[in-house]
Amino acid sequence: MAQSIWVIGQRGKSGISRATREILGKANGLAGGDSSAVTGVYCGASADGVADEMAQSGAGSVITMTDPRLETYTADFYVSAISHLAGDRKPDVILIAATADGRELAAALATSFGGGAVQDCTELEWDGDTLLGTRACFGGNRTAVVENCSPGAKVFSVRPNSFPVPDAGGGGVSAEEVAPVLPEGDPRVKVLEFIPDAGGTINLLDADVIVSGGRGLGKAEGFKVIQDLADVLGGAVGASRAVVDSGWIAYPHQVGQTGKTVKPKLYIALGISGAIQHLAGMRTADTIVAVNKDENAPIFNVAHYGIVGDLFEIAPALTAKFREVLQG
């Protein structure tokens, strides 16, 4: 019999988050397409539309637990609700999107079962009956394949963007509503306020896209073309040490051995030669694009796509094309 897999649903800007849908799709794949093995579990103040959305992404059944105290995630309430439910239903595997809250929930939930979570997986695969998670260690310099030997449910958190969003299909599942078991008394943690990030100030470490500039920019003003490209991609601006040392941009933007180690989905390096110390900070990016006028620049050794040319011609063309494609 297929192992039962739970996917903990998180809300995004509209409906179930993209990361949750990716994981539902993956869970369905892990169940060999047998969606009856995949259950979406959702906690919230209300669960309107949740069952359909989760079913469309691959859940064969959906359990919802609603209570005003579950409106915003807090470990205390979510761990209580989910661990009680898991104690009753005994799922084999629990998958959670590795957002900040998701990683906290994964570790706390797994500990409450007497085990541990395998965090931040970018791949999940069976070895016989054992689910293995692949994850980065040492800032991306090592890849570990990890087995979860916890008693009871095995919890894995999964990095957003690791799997494709499944095509919507199916649906028509009606949720089973379960009354959550929550701690009594005054909550120990109260969420008071959420302040969304202003656009453009995206953290380099969490950015999905980083556009970096090096000495090839010629002068501080050269960063304009980098910023324009980053803006259209909703990305962050990175830099080599040479330009930080020259005072063209502030140190928090520096990528490399003595700067930040980043792992965006897309890293675009313009006018950066690719010194080993720079590579140390970005070589594990999922996709690397290099633009350099020197065809022998070492950056091309780690790039997936290379363009030999003048960045002041290439960058604006890329910006225009991305704008056309992304913003219609």
Q: Which residues bind ligand FAD (CB under 6 A)?
A: 214-216, 240-243, 254, 256-259, 271-273, 275, 277-278, 281, 291-294, 297, 310-312
Residue 104 as a binder of another protein (CB under 8 A): the answer is yes
First to last CA, the chain: 47
Is residue 39 helix, strand or coil? strand
Q: What span, in angstroms and rounded, lies between the C-alpha atoms of 182 and 191?
A: 17
Residue 233 as a binder of another protein (CB under 8 A): the answer is yes
What's the closest the beta carbon of residue 84 comes to another protein, in angstroms? 14
Q: What span, in angstroms and rounded, lies between the C-alpha atoms of 236 and 250?
A: 13
Kindly identify the residues of this chain, within the stretch 3-62, that bind another protein according to CB under 8 A: none
Kindly identify the residues of this chain, within the stretch 170-189, that bind another protein according to CB under 8 A: 188-189
Residue 70 as a binder of another protein (CB under 8 A): the answer is no
Residue 117, binding choice from another protein, ligand FAD, none, Cβ under 5 to 8 Å by partner class: another protein
Using alpha carbons only, what angle is made at residue 260 by residues 259 and 266, rounded to the nearest 5 degrees? Answer: 130
Among 304, 204, 320, 225, CA closest to 271: 225
- Residue 95, phi then psi, degrees to nearest 5: -110, 135
Kindly identify the residues of this chain, within the stretch 118-147, that bind another protein according to CB under 8 A: 118-120, 127, 132, 135-147
Instruction: Please work out the total of residues on this chain that contact another protein, with binding judged by CB under 8 A.
Output: 86
- Our CB check for ligand FAD shows the closer of 31 and 282 to be 282
Residue 292, binding choice from another protein, ligand FAD, none, Cβ under 5 to 8 Å by partner class: ligand FAD
Residue 289 as a binder of another protein (CB under 8 A): the answer is yes
Residue 193 as a binder of another protein (CB under 8 A): the answer is yes
What's the closest the beta carbon of residue 218 comes to ligand FAD, in angstroms? 7
Among 294, 227, 228, CA closest to 239: 227
Q: What span, in angstroms and rounded, lies between the C-alpha atoms of 22 and 10?
A: 12
Pairing mode, strands 130-137 and 123-127: antiparallel
